[in-house]
Amino acid sequence: MARDDILAPASTTPLQDYLDRPARGATENYLVVPRSLAQSMPLRWQQVFTGLLADLHDAYAHLSWPEYQVVPSRSEALADLDEEQLAAVGFVADLGPDGELVFRDAADNPVVDPEQHRVLAPVEDPLPPASAGRIEPRPASPL
């Protein structure tokens, strides 16, 4: 048997492996699953997912879980934000002596290149809320 024919051992950290690469809803410390999309998945998927969540919650019921507030956000150039978004991320924009906008951080330090300075800013949620009902998933790829 050739070396290439031998299967590599399965990962012992498959969820970490998957979430360590760019994955929608995943950050370094959290995984957010939009409820409207999860509730729109086929019944069998929902049954399996519900079981997995129940197992997770049972295994870690002894921990003091906080409540979470999820804020839809995107990486945006500081110069593209409105006043509300700027305030939410701790920046302000005022007219400088030359009439140009000057962006400042929470410590009142000017931002050198606001067109290139990116921040995680709150945005309007592009996904429907759970109350919207079923959202049709894209059709499955042909076999």
Predicted confidence (pLDDT) per residue in 59-118, tens digit: 999 999 999 999 999 999 999 999 999 999 999 999 988 988 999 999 999 999 999 999
**Closest among 122, 105, 141, 106 to 71, alpha carbons compared:** 122
Question: Which residues have a Cβ under 8 Å from the Cβ of 126 and sit 6 or more positions away?
Answer: 72
Alpha helices in 39-133 (DSSP H): 43-59, 83-88
What is the pTM for the complete model shown?
0.74
Query: How many beta carbons lie within 10 A of that of residue 142, not counting itself?
Result: 4
Alpha helices in 9-98 (DSSP H): 14-20, 35-38, 43-59, 83-88
Above 60 in pLDDT, residue 3?
no
What pLDDT, in 10s, does the model give residues 9-34?
788 999 999 999 999 999 999 999 99
What are the strands, taking DSSP E only, across the chain?
73-77, 92-95, 101-104, 118-122
Question: Which residues have a Cβ under 8 Å from the Cβ of 78 and sit 6 or more positions away?
Answer: 86, 91, 103, 111, 114, 115, 117, 118, 119
Question: Could you tell me the residue ranges of all domains in the chain?
Answer: 11-68, 73-122
Write down the pLDDT at residue 8: 61
What pLDDT, in 10s, does the model give residues 41-57?
999 999 999 999 999 99
Task: Tell me the one-letter amino acid at 89.
Answer: V
